[in-house]
Amino acid sequence: MRITPGRILFALGVMAALALGVWAMVPRPLPVETAKVTKGKFVATVDEDGKTRIRERYVVAAPLPGRLTRVRLKAGDAVKADDMIAAIVPAPAPFLDPRSRRDQEERLGIAEATRERTKAMVERAQAQTAQAKKEFDRIRTLTETGSSTAQALERADTAMRVANRELRAAEFQDHATEHEIEQAKALLAQYGEGGTAPPDRWNVTAPVSGLVLKVLQESETVVQPGTPILEIGDPLDLEIVVDVLSTDAVEIKPGNAVAIEHWGGPGVLAGSVRRVEPAAFTKISTLGVEEQRVNVLIDIVSPPKDWTGLGDAYQVDTRITVFTRDEATIIPSGALFRTGENWNVYVVSEGRAQRRTVELLRRSGRFTALAAGLQSGEQVIIYPSDRIASGIRVENR
């Protein structure tokens, strides 16, 4: 057969068509998303939102029955101890009743007993503050000589701050109790020896200095003993209340570090867990599921000048640290999938997916720390689909 240029071109076209068909039949690599296995510090946290509240609130209540004059104070007004808040104009009969006088004498006795208890609380808080100060000075000296760590110094500083705040709260309670005693004594003095000279009015005064948080009774009205009039508190004496799932509360311990975010100001505030309440309560979630939750009380460790905008009942987001590990092997949690009782990942090796069994150390949100199974620098497939299998060719999307 004679070879002509046309026949050569025809043969070349047939060969090109065959090569194109073979290339089209070859399986193409699946596009996947990958992430690199890293090594570093792993921190597991419990993330929940919470609310601020003033630790020590003082409700000023009517000590006597009578007609309460209009309260001129508004929420946010500053008051000092013994400032007059309002006045009660009583009916004459209760002041002439001997039984009322005896009741007031008993109240005075209760107030005096309470004062003794608050004195003991102040003395105990003073001792704890002095001990915390000594411990801080000792740790600081050891840190300067290299015999202790900066973390121990931070814990000692936090303990000293908390002890100072506890002392301040105890002194507030002692002062309020002293004020109650003075009120009871003044009332008995107004009875007089013969009990025949009723006072014209009774001035209701502030037990402590602070800000008015809420006015509960503003208009002039007739009140009974114990009727709340307003609330007073120190806006710098804040704590945070966070309700967490009871399964998470088991891991939270007093002293755990807390990061306070999205509080309305710049930066992240530092906090410390003060108490985990021992009893849980039932709460209905937004999905209508009953949950057992536990209140966790958090102290704000950052200086007050950093969070001057915070107030009572403000919402914040918290991250409570429950586990840390240095030099941990970390991967995205989305790379994990389960087969039976084992956790697995797909590792990209020489352009192909290889299934590998891993041992988990701890999971927290988007990331997981591994105890064994992977090395730093390897590539794992994130959110593998059911099309991925061992040996299949893949390429990074």
**Length in residues, the chain:** 397
pLDDT of residue 8: 67
More reliable by pLDDT, 76 or 258: 258
Question: Once rounded to an integer, what is the mean pLDDT over residues 230-241?
Answer: 90
pLDDT of residue 358: 93
Report whether 49 contacts 314 (CB < 8 A).
Answer: no
Give 290: exposed, middle or buried? Use CB within 10 Å, 0-12, 13-18, 19+: exposed
Question: Once rounded to an integer, what is the mean pLDDT over residues 210-238?
Answer: 90
pLDDT, tens only, 319-365: 999 999 999 999 999 989 988 889 999 998 888 889 999 999 998 88
Does the pLDDT of residue 189 top 50, yes or no?
yes
pLDDT, tens only, 23-67: 555 566 788 888 999 999 999 999 999 999 998 889 999 988 888
Does the pLDDT of residue 233 top 50, yes or no?
yes
More reliable by pLDDT, 151 or 333: 333
Question: Once rounded to an integer, what is the mean pLDDT over residues 2-24?
Answer: 65
Considering only CA atoms, which of 45, 41, 40 is closest in space to residue 256? 45
pLDDT of residue 27: 60
pTM: 0.59
Token digits of residue 325: 């590990």
Does the pLDDT of residue 259 top 90, yes or no?
yes
pLDDT of residue 134: 83
The fraction of the chain above a pLDDT of 70, given in percent, is 88
Does the pLDDT of residue 146 top 80, yes or no?
no
**Going by C-beta distance under 8 Å and a sequence separation of 6 or more, which residues neighbour residue 62?**
68, 88, 204, 223, 224, 225, 226, 227, 229
pLDDT of residue 66: 87
Considering only CA atoms, which of 98, 4, 35, 66 is closest in space to residue 223? 66
Report whether 297 contacts 240 (CB < 8 A).
Answer: yes
Residue 29 has φ and ψ, to the nearest 5°, of -65, 140
Does the pLDDT of residue 11 top 80, yes or no?
no
Q: Which of 267-276, 295-304, 357-366 is least confident?
A: 357-366
Does the pLDDT of residue 192 top 70, yes or no?
no
Rounded distance between C-alpha atoms, residue 328 and residue 392, angstroms = 29
Q: Mean pLDDT, the chain, as a whole number?
A: 84
Report whether 204 contacts 217 (CB < 8 A).
Answer: no
The fraction of the chain above a pLDDT of 90, given in percent, is 36
Does the pLDDT of residue 180 top 90, yes or no?
no
Rounded distance between C-alpha atoms, residue 229 and residue 75, angstroms = 12
Torsion, Cα of 283, 285, 288, 291 (10° steps): -50
Does the pLDDT of residue 96 top 70, yes or no?
no
More reliable by pLDDT, 30 or 274: 274
Considering only CA atoms, which of 240, 315, 317, 249 is closest in space to residue 281? 249
Residue by residue, DSSP assigns 271-334 as: EEEEEE-S--EEEE-TTS-EEEEEEEEEEE-S-GGG-TT--TT-EEEEEEEEEEEEEEEEEEGG
Does the pLDDT of residue 3 top 70, yes or no?
no
pLDDT, tens only, 152-169: 778 878 888 888 888 888
pLDDT of residue 272: 95
Report whether 280 contacts 243 (CB < 8 A).
Answer: no
Q: Which residues of 87-108 are buried (b: 16+ CB within 10 A; e: fewer)?
A: bbebeeeebeeeebbeebeebb
Rounded distance between C-alpha atoms, residue 180 and residue 122, angstroms = 17
Question: Once rounded to an integer, what is the mean pLDDT over residues 125-154?
Answer: 80
pLDDT of residue 258: 95
Question: Once rounded to an integer, what is the mean pLDDT over residues 260-265?
Answer: 92
pLDDT, tens only, 72-89: 999 889 999 889 998 998
